[in-house]
Structure 1
Amino acid sequence: MDVDLFVEKHRDEWDRLRVLTRRSGRLSGAEADELITLYQRAATHLSIVRSAAPDPVLVDRLTMLVSQARAATTGTSAPGWRDAGMFFAQRFPAAVYRARHWWVPTAALFLLVSGVIAAWVANSPAVQSAIATPDSIAELTRPGGDFETYYSSEPAASFAAQVWTNNAYIAAASLVVGLLILPVVFILFVNAMNVGVAAGLMADAGRLDVFFGLITPHGLLELTAVFVAAGAGMRLGWTLIDPGPRPRARALAEEGRTVAGMALGLAVVLLISGVIEAFVTPSGMSTAARVGIGVAAELVFLVYVFVYGRRAALAGETGDIDARSAGDVAPVAA
């Protein structure tokens, strides 16, 4: 094949393709069709050159042109920072909002069970004696005792990392085993029992104010994240039982991807909670200031979910990845 003659014959097409590629965002319908046609021809030309006359300069030139034309015709992936911004601005809050019918009742039931256990422990010496010895309870509840010093037992940065890892593990476990539902109920009950026992012992010692002063700053946001994880996990499990109008495999795939995304978002929420627990809870600030920070953090999260998340959900956001990344699915009857 005569390379010079080949180039001379097709140069105008390549130049036109280059022009259309540069203007890809401002093309008319006819120009868009022309762009696709010239792109397909250029790809064929590249194949011919590679097989019949592999001239390095011409191959490189056509490879670059075809790559640019392909990007112009198929589009390019959004930058990573844009995907991250979309996730935290719309997908994550929408996913949490859509799961509210699961995690809000979960939160209410958890608090009810914790309150019942706390009242039972506080008013039953027999239960207290079954929990621990009088000396151990006194050591836990006294001023400067184990309950208070726990939050300052390690350097703040190290403590924050430890707390975050533990809470993230609990949230992830709730999301993952939610498919089975009952293990999540067990995890929640164990945590409700721990909170209730501690509250009951501190109440019996007349130090319930100290209990809430220490647990509220970080506990509001921390427990909310756990409730969301548990609720979303159980919602995923219920999808296996009742997928609705969608095929079961498709429903599980869509909800499973949403849950995986929620795990990432909740990890960030728990990181914030861990920082508060390590740096605010044991600090020398007044109780009102510490509790105020915890309440403010909780209110910000709730506004984030019930304002921004609701708005995104009403606009059609589900928390799943975009349709192009998820792939095509077969239509189903309504």
Structure 2
Amino acid sequence: MDLDAYVAEHEGEWRRLEQLLGRRRLTGQESDELIALYQRAATHLSAVQSRAPDPALVGRLSRLVARARSAVTGSTAPSLVTFARFFTVGFPVAVYRAWPWWCGVATAFSAVAFGMIAWFGTHPALARQLAPDSVLKQLVEHEFADYYSENPSQDFAAQVWTNNALIAALCLFSGVLIFPVLIVLFENAVNVGEIGGVMVAYGRTDVFFGLITPHGLLELTAVFVAAGAGLRIGWSWIAPGRGRTRSQALAETSRAAVLIALGLVVVLAISGVIEAFVTPSGLPTWARISIGVAAFAGFLAYVVVLGGRAARAGETGDLAVGEREDLAPTV
């Protein structure tokens, strides 16, 4: 493509579109003209990006097309309706549709973690090879339980939320590469398995599960959902499916993953509050575990009921058609 010739040929149309966008009121004829010029500008942008991606021209046309799209489709301000729709439709259906992925992740993670717990728990001599006996006794008798109460609850909740949010974000946004997600999951499964195995080997099974269960059920589920959504992004690039290009499949699954990321912010905040205020509390073990199980069951019911209903209604967790990218017609 001769970029200078292309710009010279279409410069008049772009300037005319800018003029129309600068007006407060348009006649019916001018509105029709704006729509036609917007469609042409979107086609021009696609052509430039694919044939001669000059950064300055791409930036100019991208801004012009974005302004025109807003003028044509109208802009919507965030509202309570939008907020409610996100939590009753967008987030639950995105999680629901990704369930084979995060359930698969949960199964693999649990197999590794519980396998190591059982192995070390039934082979105390092997568990003692992980570290000196004095270090392990310090962990079993003090450090594991003290971890949940050594800092003020509100500070600990913020710390836990930040740490878990980083892990979830890493799983989500490195999912296109697949292997980083698998590494993060394996490292965390091994960590849980080793600590749990040591606690079991030293006869503190009740302490381990009594402290990790209240918050761990919801917290780990959130990480599993993030990892599953991330792996789904990576797989969409490998196997986009019939009727979709790789870029289209990647865009669709990535947009759904963004909804999941936003929703998990709240889920991880809830698990952080439980870990900071319930796990180290003086409540009986059965009461603390009951709170954790209730939060976990509530999340699953929320996803299955609302997400399932939205999926049956045809919702996908993707943006509305008018809010997606523009695609140039192809032959």
* Contact 2:124-2:202 within 8 A present in 1 as well: no
Structure 2 CA distance, aligned partners of 1:39 and 1:106?
54
Equivalent in the alignment of 1:40? 27
* Contact 2:124-2:201 within 8 A present in 1 as well: no
Q: Do residues 188 (structure 1) and 175 (structure 2) align? A: no
Structure 2 CA distance, aligned partners of 1:159 and 1:95?
30
Structure 2 CA distance, aligned partners of 1:153 and 1:262?
32
Following superposition, the deviation at residue 267 of structure 1 comes to 1.2
Letter in 2 for 1:316: G
Letter in 1 for 2:316: T
Compared CA separation, residues 242 and 129, structure 1 to 2 (3 A): same
Compared CA separation, residues 332 and 288, structure 1 to 2 (3 A): farther
Equivalent in the alignment of 1:141? 140
* Offset from partner CA, 1:196-231 (integer Å, 9 cap, x none): 111111111211111111001100000000000111
Compared CA separation, residues 332 and 291, structure 1 to 2 (3 A): farther
Larger mean Cα displacement after TM superposition, 261-270 or 158-167: 261-270
Match of 2:138, SS state, is: helix
- Percent of residue pairs bearing the same amino acid type: 54
Structure 2 CA distance, aligned partners of 1:126 and 1:187?
28
Following superposition, the deviation at residue 316 of structure 1 comes to 1.4
Equivalent in the alignment of 1:216? 213
Equivalent in the alignment of 1:119? 118
Following superposition, the deviation at residue 123 of structure 1 comes to 2.7
Q: Quick one: which of 224, 230, 234 aligns to 1:237?
A: 234
* Contact 2:127-2:201 within 8 A present in 1 as well: no
Structure 2 CA distance, aligned partners of 1:205 and 1:130?
13
Larger mean Cα displacement after TM superposition, 320-329 or 82-91: 320-329
Compared CA separation, residues 134 and 200, structure 1 to 2 (3 A): same
Match of 2:128, SS state, is: helix
Structure 2 CA distance, aligned partners of 1:261 and 1:319?
7
Unaligned runs of 5+ in 2: 1-24, 32-69
* Offset from partner CA, 1:295-321 (integer Å, 9 cap, x none): 000011000111110111111111112
* Offset from partner CA, 1:49-76 (integer Å, 9 cap, x none): xxxxxxxxxxxxxxxxxxxxxx9x9666
Q: Do residues 163 (structure 1) and 160 (structure 2) align? A: yes
Q: How does the TM-score come out when normalised to structure 2?
A: 0.76
Following superposition, the deviation at residue 330 of structure 1 comes to 5.7
Equivalent in the alignment of 1:109? 108
Following superposition, the deviation at residue 82 of structure 1 comes to 2.1
The higher radius of gyration belongs to: 1
1:272-287 matches, within 5 Å, as: 272-287=270-285
Following superposition, the deviation at residue 78 of structure 1 comes to 5.2
Letter in 2 for 1:155: P
Structure 1 CA distance, aligned partners of 2:106 and 2:28?
61
* Contact 2:73-2:322 within 8 A present in 1 as well: no
Equivalent in the alignment of 1:65? none
1:256-271 matches, within 5 Å, as: 256-271=254-269
Compared CA separation, residues 214 and 221, structure 1 to 2 (3 A): same
Compared CA separation, residues 87 and 169, structure 1 to 2 (3 A): same
Q: Quick one: which of 292, 306, 309 aligns to 1:308?
A: 306
Match of 1:131, SS state, is: coil
Structure 2 CA distance, aligned partners of 1:94 and 1:300?
15
Q: Do residues 298 (structure 1) and 278 (structure 2) align? A: no
Match of 2:281, SS state, is: coil
Equivalent in the alignment of 1:152? 149
Larger mean Cα displacement after TM superposition, 74-83 or 162-171: 74-83
Letter in 2 for 1:103: W
Following superposition, the deviation at residue 127 of structure 1 comes to 2.9
* Offset from partner CA, 1:224-254 (integer Å, 9 cap, x none): 0000011110011000001112111111111
Compared CA separation, residues 42 and 329, structure 1 to 2 (3 A): closer
The count of corresponding residues between Structure 1 and Structure 2 is: 268
Equivalent in the alignment of 1:198? 195
Structure 2 CA distance, aligned partners of 1:206 and 1:106?
29
Larger mean Cα displacement after TM superposition, 221-230 or 255-264: 255-264
Structure 1 CA distance, aligned partners of 2:125 and 2:329?
62
Q: How does the TM-score come out when normalised to structure 1?
A: 0.75
Match of 2:240, SS state, is: coil
Larger mean Cα displacement after TM superposition, 274-283 or 306-315: 306-315
Compared CA separation, residues 332 and 215, structure 1 to 2 (3 A): farther
* Contact 2:101-2:229 within 8 A present in 1 as well: yes
Structure 2 CA distance, aligned partners of 1:230 and 1:121?
27
Letter in 2 for 1:292: S
Structure 1 CA distance, aligned partners of 2:28 and 2:130?
80
Letter in 2 for 1:108: T
